[in-house]
Amino acid sequence: MKPFIPQRFEFLVFGFLLSGFMSCLVTCIASLLTIGVVPGLFTIWMESWASSWIVAFPAVLVVAPLVRRIVHRLVVTG
């Protein structure tokens, strides 16, 4: 697959994918622990995922630079 997104948008693509995958995983676990395996679980999970992704995406964009700075202070280079 040939890349098609300009490099200047890398941070947005990273945030979009990271927040999507993480919110999907977290809402799946939370749904299973809260209601268990029930009829309609997939629909409930997807509704939870959609609403959480709306919050997770901008949160990742805001928090990622802060986390990078913290990591750079904690990690020894060279």
In angstroms, the Cα distances linking 56 to 13, 68, 78 are 13, 17, 34
Does the residue 54 lie in any domain?
yes
Does the residue 20 lie in any domain?
no
Confidence bin at 3 (pLDDT 50/70/90): confident
- The pair of structure tokens assigned to 34 is 């809260």
Does the residue 2 lie in any domain?
no
Provide the b/e sequence for 47-62 (b: ≥16 CB within 10 Å): ebbeebbeebbeebbe
Does the residue 53 lie in any domain?
yes
pTM > 0.75: yes
What pLDDT, on a 0 to 100 scale, did the predictor assign at position 77? 86
pLDDT tens column, 6-48: 999 999 999 999 999 999 999 999 999 999 999 999 999 999 9
